[in-house]
Amino acid sequence: MKLKVTQIRSTINRIEDHKRVVESLGLGKIGKSRIHNDTPSIRGMIKKVGYLLKVEELQGE
């Protein structure tokens, strides 16, 4: 299964560690999306900064 991760909020005035997690997910601007494999490490990053993201599960890809 794959996950489509989209940034919906800014990282301005956020904890520095959260900014680095968003950057490591390949995001950085509002509205930018990336597709990742559903792994425990990606799920952990999404859980940490979930308030900045929208996550969709993609079937059959």
CATH of residue 28's domain is 3.30.1390.20
pTM comes to 0.90
What total number of domains does the chain contain? Answer: 1
CB 38 within 8 A of CB 1: yes
Structural domain that includes position 23: 2-58
Mean pLDDT value across the chain: 95
pLDDT of residue 26: 96
The total of other beta-carbon atoms located within 10 Å of residue 39's CB is 10
User: Which residues lie closer than 8 Å to 1 by C-beta, 6 or more apart?
Assistant: 37, 38, 57, 58, 59
- Measured distance between the N- and C-terminal CA atoms of the chain, rounded to whole angstroms: 7
Q: How far apart are CA 9 and CA 29, in angstroms?
A: 8
pLDDT of residue 59: 87
